[in-house]
Amino acid sequence: MHDGDTIPIMNARWWDARLQGTCLSWLQDTSYNQIDHRLICAFVERWHEETSSFHLPFGETTVTLDDVSCLLHSNITRDEAVDWMVEHLGSDPGDAIREVTQTKGAHYQFSYLRKIFKECMLEQLELETEYGVTQEVRRLRDQAVRIYLLYLVGITLFTDKSATVVDVVYLKYFRDLDIVAGYSWGAAALAHLYRELNKAARWNCGQVSRYLTLLQV
């Protein structure tokens, strides 16, 4: 997403303002360069699906909604929009997908997102230079923000098995950028983490290390 062409555009004030408004911009900064696979592996061994907790010598402990809220500043309370989200997250996207995209299938490759993001950013810049901030420029900017957010949740909250694609179903949540902040991203991310831990805990450690990209949520 960040290259010589797009970085100067991402330094513009409109970009920051639009992204901050979604309350997801923190995701850019809360990722670690370095994932300690052995550490995660040691914890996976102590994960118990039936209690959704780690069993350690001093008793049980687990990641709570409160942890997610403080660690990531992600929203954990529910609102109207969350119902739709709870029902459709992780499920067979089906109709939802068809609404969002008709041609690209159920997943976007990150490489594809990078390409259309760049095109979008450059086009809006070109139009802005020529005609000022028109409605079309605003539309393109919002589109660029949507693509960027999709990429961001794809590499952070909802990491896919292959870690190269993201489910297009999330795009639906970015349709109206003004309400993105209202979704319960935190609750969804926690449920996702529990599910991945359940899966990983059924494997042995050697297999887990191959599987670990999944846990990088």
Partner 1 sequence: MRLSLLQAWVFQHLQGMRSKDVWSGYQEEQHPRAMRFIPLSGLGKTDNYKNLLDRLDLSGVVMAPYGLHRQVRPFERVSLFTGWLRYGDRQLRYMPERVLRQFGRVQTILRHPVQVAPPETNLGEISLCFQHALDHTRTTEQLGERAVHGVEAAYGYIEWFYLHSHPHMIIPDIPVPMPMPPKRGVLDA
Q: Which stretch binds partner 1 (CB under 8 A): 12-20, 72-80, 118-126, 140-148?
A: 72-80
Exposed, middle or buried: residue 122 (CB in 10 Å: 0-12, 13-18, 19+)? middle
Quote the least distance from Cβ 154 to partner 1, whole Å: 11
Quote the least distance from Cβ 168 to partner 1, whole Å: 15
Q: Is 162 in the site for partner 1 (CB under 8 A)?
A: no
Quote the least distance from Cβ 131 to partner 1, whole Å: 35
Binding mask 14-53 for partner 1 (x = CB under 8 A): ------------xx-xxxxxxxx-xxxxxx-xx-x-xxxx
Residue 199 half-sphere exposure toward CB, CA atoms < 13 A:
14
What torsion, rounded to 10 degrees, do the Cα atoms 156, 163, 84, 76 define? -20
Cβ–Cβ < 8 Å for 161, 213: yes
Q: Which is nearer to partner 1, 81 or 127 (CB)?
A: 81
The contacts of residue 194 (CB under 8 Å, 6+ apart) are: 52, 63
Q: Which is nearer to partner 1, 116 or 163 (CB)?
A: 163
Interacting residue with partner 1 among 151, 191, 201, 211 (CB under 8 A): 191
Name the helix (H) or strand (E) containing 15.
Answer: helix 13-20
